[in-house]
Amino acid sequence: MGFKKRPMLFKYQVVFQKDMITLSVVKRYCLSKKLLCMINEILLKYARFTDDELDIIREKFSPLKMDKNELFLDAGQICNRAGLIINGKFILSQVSESGNEAILDFFITGELISDYYSLLKNYPSKTYIKALKKAELLVITKKDLEYLYRTIPKFQIFGRKLAEESFIRLAETIKLQSVSPKERYQIFMANKIEIIKEFPQYMIASYLRISPEWLSKIRGHK
């Protein structure tokens, strides 16, 4: 059954085994029209998938609900999944040996979260990905990603561009450290204005590697 029909919570599939017919429950999440549009919009930004290819890709995503402060990824774990944020906000952070948390990135609705280095290289992650409020995601495992890479060549374009975006985001974070605090804030405002509305000032200060007091002072003189 395809995802274009709605809206039973679970779909049923008749499975033929020799002369026996058994009824099994196929736990496929029935995506709403809104979620279908969101997934399609994200996928089609990267490659021109056919309708059949989109159906195959969507079948590999599973729903996940998370509580406030729950970890999507813990430091020391090998990341084996990526998640599309349907509703919620997340931080990517790292905790130093002294116990201080440094914010490395922010993620909001419509964005994909993962530690791509850990995912691709099978190395334990050095970062955390944490939900800052109750969140809903659609999650795809590394196994299913690799299946899609093999079966849909265009999906390799999607994976490559996601990795490129992740690298660019990390490079931008590192680049901020080479300019003055005021310039950091100006660059941040130019590129991540939506983050200002979603995250508390002390987290933005941590991302910019300045104190909350410095950030208040800079914002007061803009």
pLDDT per residue as tens digits for the range 111-135: 889 998 899 899 999 999 999 999 9
55 touches 3 (CB < 8 A): yes
| Residue 28 vs residue 90, higher pLDDT | 90
148-207 pLDDT per residue, tens:
999 999 898 888 888 888 888 878 888 888 888 888 888 888 877 788 888 999 999 999
pLDDT digits (tens, 9 = 90+) for 65-108: 999 999 999 999 999 999 999 999 999 999 877 778 889 999 99
Residue matched to tokens 């914010």: 103
Query: Closest Cα partner for 86 from 107, 115, 114?
Result: 107
Structure tokens at 39: 């997934």
* Cβ within 8 Å of residue 201, ≥6 positions away: 212, 215, 216
The candidate with the shortest Cα–Cα distance to 84, out of 55, 109, 56, is 109
pLDDT score, position 14: 40
Is pTM beyond 0.85 here?
A: no
pLDDT at 2: 43
Q: Strand 128-131 and strand 89-95: pairing?
A: antiparallel
What the block records as the tokens of 31 is: 């995506």
* CA 49 to each of CA 55, 58, 64: distance values in angstroms, whole numbers, following the listed order: 10, 12, 25
